[in-house]
Structure formats: C-alpha cells, structure tokens
Structure 1
Amino acid sequence: MASLHTPESIDNSLSEGNSYIQLLRVETENANLREQLITLQASYDKLHSTLLNTEKKLMEEKQEKEAWKAHLRDLTDRMVMESKRHLENLKYDAECVKVMLDHNNPTNNRPLRQYYVNVDGDRVYQSDFRDEDSSSE
C-alpha cells in the first residue's frame, strides 16, 4: 500500500498547522487586548466623571467664596460708614461741650442741641429756631 502522505503534503500540513496555531495566538492576544481596552475605557470614564464632579464642586466653592467676599465687603463698608457717622457725631458733641465750657464765650450757657436717633441710626437734631423742621447730621 502506498502511503497517502507524501513528504510534501506533510510539510504543507505542518505549515498550515503552524499558521493556524499562530492565528489562534493572535486572536487570543486580540481578545486579551480588547478586555484590557474595555477595562481601561471603564477606568477612564470613571476618572472623567470624577474630574467633572470635582470641577463642579470647585466652581461651587469658588462662587460661594466670592459671595462671602462680597458679603464681607458690604459689611465692612457699612461698618466704616457707621463709624464715620459716629465719629462725626462725637466731634460735633465735643465742639458743643467745648463751647459750653469756654468761659470767654458769651453763649457759654447754650445747651446742647436736642436730637433723636431715627430708624437708620442717624441723629436728627432740632433746629436752632425750635421750629418743626429738623436737619440730619
């Protein structure tokens, strides 16, 4: 009986087998690389989501900080304005007391002007003529 497998057919079969094995290895590597790519994509998506959330929180904190700065600036401006008004009132009172205590002044018996504090915290003085008009200082 003659053999069906010749040396050439055996070489061809070995070559085809090796090619098939190599193809299986490449396909296995591709499958592994696809899994790694899927894992990396999921990690990237998670990191990107975290980045967006962090940026959003930082922007909110920045806006809140700017709002507090504006609020503190307003409070400071109001305190400065009220302090200046109080200082002006104290200077006026000091001048009135100085006039009252000055013995060389013929009006040394003149009393301090009457005033009341309105809802804005301003002193409202009665006029020198004792009429109904008032002036705010």
Structure 2
Amino acid sequence: MLTEQRHKIILDELKQKGIIKINYLVNILNTSESTIRRDLNYLESINAVKRIHGGAAIPKGRLIEPSYSEKEIQNVQEKKKIAQFASSCIEDGDCIYLDSGTSTFEMIQYISNKKIIIVTNGLKHINAIIENNINGYI
C-alpha cells in the first residue's frame, strides 16, 4: 500500500473514532508497527494528528480546513486524473490562472510542453512552473 493511501486511511479512522491505537492500525493496514509510527510522526509534523501514548488523537483546537500538506496526500490519483483532463483542454497560446490548490498544482506537469502563460497565487506552484520552463506570473 502506498504511503499516501495509509495516511488517508489513518486520517479517516481518526475522524471516525477520535482516538486510534497503533495496534489497531497495524491490523487494518496490514503493516509493521514501525511503519505506523513513522506515518504518525509524519502526520504529527503536519499537525494532522496528536501523538499519544500507544496511538494518536485529533489535535485539540484544530481548524476545520485541512492544511496544504494534508491536502497533498488526499485523493492523489483523482487529482492526477482531473489534472490530465483539465490540461488537455489547454491549447498553445492560452493564458490560464491556477489558484494555489493541490489539484491545480498537479496540472503543471501535464502542461509543460505547451506554449502558454500561467498566472498564479500559488507560492508552491512557482518552482514547478520554472522547472517546466513555463512563462508564469504571480
């Protein structure tokens, strides 16, 4: 199972239960305890979970809106499909606006061979736009 898939399952289980134990995650994900600990450490580093003895809980005072880092690992395959389709609608000479979202970020790799201009407010998008030799404006 891919790391992103495990993270999504962990976050979904946590939303349903409020607190989850490492042993429970080991069983439902069919993976090692050390892998779960690494996953929980990462998810804690992006403030998606609060580590507790033997498991994890929902962080207190957590905003309803997930962070950019959390969104990056959610629905990855779906975002790629959307990005491929959306980029197929873009033609040479177009000027497009990409907001700062994670789905629009995925589009950049699929439009690198087109002669277009991108306007964005996505600071994380800038490096990808430059690396793909696309004309861009912030």
* TM-score, length basis structure 1: 0.21
- Structure with greater strand percent: 2
**Which has the bigger relative contact order, CA under 8 A and spacing at least 6?**
2
- Structure with greater helix percent: 1
* TM-score, length basis structure 2: 0.21
Structure possessing the higher radius of gyration over alpha carbons: 1
